[in-house]
Chain A
Amino acid sequence: NAGVTQTPKFRILKIGQSMTLQCTQDMNHNYMYWYRQDPGMGLKLIYYSVGAGITDKGEVPNGYNVSRSTTEDFPLRLELAAPSQTSVYFCASSIAGTGNYGYTFGSGTRLTVV
């Protein structure tokens, strides 16, 4: 049982490049999330999904896109990378929202944009 798997673990991008952060979970969780963690700040929600085919914006969605074609996968796309997107990105999943169920987090992707 792998839980939530994120790839890659590290990446350096040049300004203007694009990339996709992959996230896969094998727990049949319906809710999935993308967060970013900046130094000295709490995690901020980028996008989330309540099920296949449904996505919604979080607090900081600008510069990102997501898709949820299957229950298992929730990739995060960065278009035209900017230095402000240098951060650690975490994917997470839960059974049915955040209120009454715990989260399972991926191991994170450390992204640097230069």
Chain B
Amino acid sequence: KNEVEQSPQNLTAQEGEFITINCSYSVGISALHWLQQHPGGGIVSLFMLSSGKKKHGRLIATINIQEKHSSLHITASHPRDSAVYICAVREGPDKLIFGTGTRLQVFP
């Protein structure tokens, strides 16, 4: 069993839909990161969470430390949101464990 599990692996949506991507982890962590990997391959850091909830534009990230679960929500999805979304958790000093990513495609 992977230490970081993301679901779903693939997600297709129509423009305007509300999107939820889930991340569950099995190790004790001090922080969780959400990253976005563009179709061209570049990776951008979206959020770093250690508790609660963060919002940036149409993106919302939440984390429940007790349940070892985080969600990334996209409101009013747009085709430009099409990307791979990656969850990563910090287990120990200088060590991130990455999920395999959720591939999102948003169609007009």
Task: Show the binding face of A for B, using Cβ within 8 Å.
Answer: 31, 40-45, 48, 50, 56, 58, 88, 90, 92, 97-105, 107-108, 110
Q: List 12 A-B contacts (CB under 8 A).
A: A40-B100, A41-B100, A42-B86, A42-B97, A42-B99, A42-B100, A43-B88, A43-B96, A50-B94, A98-B94, A102-B33, A105-B43
What is the distance, in angstroms, from B1's C-beta to the closest C-beta of chain A? 13
In the complex with contacts A99-B30, A100-B48, A101-B48, A48-B94 CB distance below 8 A: yes
The A-B contact count (CB < 8 A) is: 62
A98 touches B4 (CB 8 A): no
Q: Which one of A31, A41, A98, A107 lies within 8 Å of B90 (CB-CB)? A: A98
What is the distance, in angstroms, from A47's C-beta to the closest C-beta of chain B? 11
B76 at the interface (CB under 8 A from A): no
Q: Which residue of B lies closest to A97 (CB)?
A: B94
* Whole-angstrom CA separation of A105 from B2 in the bound complex: 24
